[in-house]
Amino acid sequence: MTTRKLQPNTNTFYFITFTCYEWISLFEITDLYNYIYECFDHLELQKIYNCGYVIMPNHLHMLVYMANNEKTINKIIGESKRFMAYEIVKRLEKLSRFDLLNALGQSVTQHERRKKKKHNVFRPSEDIKEIMTEKFIRQKLNYMHKNPVSGKWKLVENYLDYIHSSARFYELGEEGVFHIYHYQEINNPAEFPPK
């Protein structure tokens, strides 16, 4: 059984990771990248500001700053994952990827079926870590930005060339596909976000 630690609702940074079911490259197969950027916009409307990200073919890492909010970060991220899951299923149907739909459907437990769940698109839990120090922020940014060239991936020769990442923003000062906030901009939470 999955256990989830609820994170507090304070003005703080979080490092978030979630992964597609069985590490299947569902983001790539369904070309979900633009939809994920729309989800980032929706998070900002809920006072969750993106300070760094990498969208891999089968998982996502984000560094976010959460301003005061009535909901927990867990609830908001869970809602975003649910909408992404609906969109992935819709796109798999459109692509006639019944092999994947069957695999995602077979993983649903009896308990989940009683709650009307039809597919497991993501692994059962997300990893949400509160970040307390700048050193930890830099460590997580470095880790996520180098993900496209590490291990089995080798998606590009140079991690700065991976388009679905905030690496160029931090390394070269270039705006990427999605606007993010530099984590150092958030030095006074009372004055953030800038008007």
* Residue 145 included in any domain: no
What's the DSSP call for residue 47? T
Q: What is the pLDDT of residue 2?
A: 39
Tell me if 103 is assigned to some domain.
Answer: yes
The pLDDT value given to residue 55: 98
Q: What is the mean pLDDT of residues 86-115?
A: 87
Look up the pTM and report it: 0.89
Structural domains counted in the chain: 1
Query: Does residue 147 sit within a domain?
Result: no
pLDDT of residue 82 exceeding 80, the answer is yes
pLDDT of residue 69: 72
d(CA 107, CA 118): 9
**Parent domain of 52:** 12-140+181-191
149 assigned to some structural domain: no
Residue 169 falls within a domain, yes or no? no
- For residue 193, pLDDT over 70 is answered with no
Residue 7 is given by DSSP the state P
Q: What is the DSSP string of 123-175?
A: -S--EEEEE--HHHHHHHHHHHHHGGGSTT---SSSGGG-SSBSHHHHHH---
pLDDT of residue 177: 92
Give domain status of residue 5, yes or no: no
User: Across residues 103-121, what is the average pLDDT?
Assistant: 78
CA angle 59, 61, 64 (to 5 degrees): 145
**What's the token pair of residue 182?**
């530099």
| Res. 20 pLDDT band, cuts 50 70 90 | very high
Residue 3 has a pLDDT of 36
- Residue 124 pLDDT: 79
Domain presence at residue 154: no
Q: Is residue 35 part of a domain?
A: yes
Note the pLDDT of residue 107.
77
pLDDT tens for each residue of 128-150: 999 989 999 999 999 999 999 99
**Better pLDDT: 17 or 132:** 17
- Please report, for the domain that includes residue 50, its CATH number: 3.30.70.1290
